[in-house]
Structure 1
């Protein structure tokens, strides 16, 4: 059958339109994957979102479940979240944009050295870390805007595309302030168009600095059996309790520096971390400790290669442990990249 000229032209237009739609869909998928590749928030001094997660701030909305997701285009102050939506990183969590002198719990700070402790639930190549603070005389009862802040960062740390640790800490010097001020922290990702925005509600002159809790150290295991083990760690000053995580999931809390974990599977490797807590702050996670229970048999998967491409579901071995890829990956090290999950 021979198509008429008009039919041929229509067919060509349909093919071109279909190709454009495919490219649009593909770019949306790629952008979504980029956007999901890094997440994080400030645990100490506790950010507004972190205090929502801990319950010190109330009526926060959905941010209590994902304080790590305050993501918006980078380039602030020239770009980034609009005025009135800075605290929520663009409005996805509108409760965070409510602003008054009494709306939010505050951490006590003072001028001088301070450490901003980030919890990166998915770390990624980083361009910079920048910290801004509100002007003297800013309107505490108006939505946060660019006019609220000194637009020159008081702390600017280039990171040159390096991937930070999941418990990254910025060392900065706070300027002299008095009373209530808001600190805006911006984590700029290197290889996407996005950044993460956290605000910290601070009270200057209200007591000693609250820089957040130190990270637990010295995590060790003892009394390892087929189905149980005991963890211990070094005490953290100011902590009132500790959270214990197994393979990234919370399995219990302790008011001492030890924790007995039972109900495990014989011959299985587990990854443990510990966080320190008090009434307003949760520390960064300790360095991970991998422990294998006795008995059973373990399967060794092919060794991980830094040059190989792995799809979701691929299994590898690395440093004596087995891992499974959650999604497509290349060059991201098992045990340190969120794309890999530890498996028996």
Structure 2
């Protein structure tokens, strides 16, 4: 079974917010294989309004949404133009694929580690006759998405609850007529920033076989979650022919077959404080497989039964005297009552267990601080720390640094460039020279002097 390692380090402190875990996206497969860490898995982030090629555009539905940043270039669509994960853009038909059929509804499941108000989800698919030996480009997808899920509430700041997507978010995407290998491009468009999140899913369209398949098993859920086991239960399936067994798949690899009529299995081969994904298929006496169930994600408890460590601590922005932090929620056998925020190794703040963000104020300008977060549960057990995040407050001295290529810039950061002082209006990494202040459409920087 594939095991993820943790030696691949994301090179960005940008917000990392979402991915498609079922059917596994190209990035999700890479995460399972240890080629991406959790940050890089969730940071397939670039400008919205694909297939447009420029930024600074208003949303066609919600004019008050934040103007778009520049979408990814052709040839960098799968990676969303991010250096961590550039290998996702390699052309070819060697990618791991999911078997599908034209006309069926494909269940697409998104996971959000730190979500934003969602304006829409756009789904594109490669055109008939596309050439997989060439890098993915706009011309291979066509001008419009074949399927869209859209939220119409506006302006976004008046409807934060209505626009905030749950995690997971699922869509039943009706597939168009295709044959053979095709690429599905799923895009999560954010309302309150200029960004969107890009996920590529590789599909293998099979010809209709006329087989009457079993119904998809329903009700898959996990219980009795410990550091040593996960108990799975589900509802019995039916079909044209009697069900013979259920096949359970963990992290993309078939794990075990459970004979009908049993509807429970205990996975005792798990390790502590580790994420797992499961789905299940029904197989009838003629060997016909059902469509897979909805996938579920779990994380086993730590060795001592303590909560899992908070996920993906990152900065949402900083000023000269404050830093805004956000992280992913912990889980455990008992409710989380508090999150403890540590600054430079000392506890600095505490927030309630239903809060996953905090503003740390009263800081010194132009100073680097290191943060981590721990979860405290109802039984008084403390989790391991989150990742350690190093963040620098902005300077108020008037001596602003020169703009640099391949540098991380948070919203509000100031730089000097071409004889002027500029303020960052959209957090980003300066991957290309065209993103310098004063270049292009200026959706990243605003001149202050």
TM-score under structure 1 normalisation? 0.60
CA 1:43–1:338 in structure 2 vs 1: closer, same or farther (change >3 Å)?
A: farther
State the partner residue of 1:153: 145
1:90-239 counterparts in 2 under 5 A?
A: 90-92=81-83, 93-100=85-92, 102-110=93-101, 111-159=103-151, 160=153, 162-205=163-206, 216-217=220-221, 219-220=223-224, 232-235=231-234, 238-239=247-248
CA 1:151–1:334 in structure 2 vs 1: closer, same or farther (change >3 Å)?
A: farther
Give 1:287 deviation, angstroms: 10
Give 1:259 deviation, angstroms: 5.9
State the partner residue of 2:72: 81
Give the Cα separation in 2 of the matches to 1:49 and 1:281.
21
Is the Cα contact below 8 Å between 1:40 and 1:121 reproduced in 2? yes
Structure 2, gaps ≥5 residues long: 1-11, 54-70, 157-162, 236-245, 258-263, 281-291, 306-322, 327-333, 343-350, 359-372, 382-449
**What's the secondary structure of 1:285's corresponding residue?**
strand
Structure 1, gaps ≥5 residues long: 1-31, 223-227, 244-252, 265-270, 294-309, 314-318
Give 1:336 deviation, angstroms: 7.6
Count of aligned residue pairs for this structure pair: 260
Give the Cα separation in 2 of the matches to 1:121 and 1:213.
27
Give 1:288 deviation, angstroms: 11
State the partner residue of 2:18: 40
Give 1:69 deviation, angstroms: 1.5
Bigger relative CO (Cα 8 Å, ≥ 6 apart):
1
Give 1:132 deviation, angstroms: 0.4
Give the Cα separation in 1 of the matches to 2:35 and 2:335.
42
Give 1:272 deviation, angstroms: 10
Tell me how large the CA RMSD over aligned residues is: 4.8
CA 1:64–1:122 in structure 2 vs 1: closer, same or farther (change >3 Å)?
A: closer
Deviations 1:232-278 (A, max 9, x none): 331595423489xxxxxxxxx999733679xx9xxxxxx99863168
Give the Cα separation in 2 of the matches to 1:215 and 1:43.
18
| Matching residue within 328, 337, 353 for 1:322 | 337
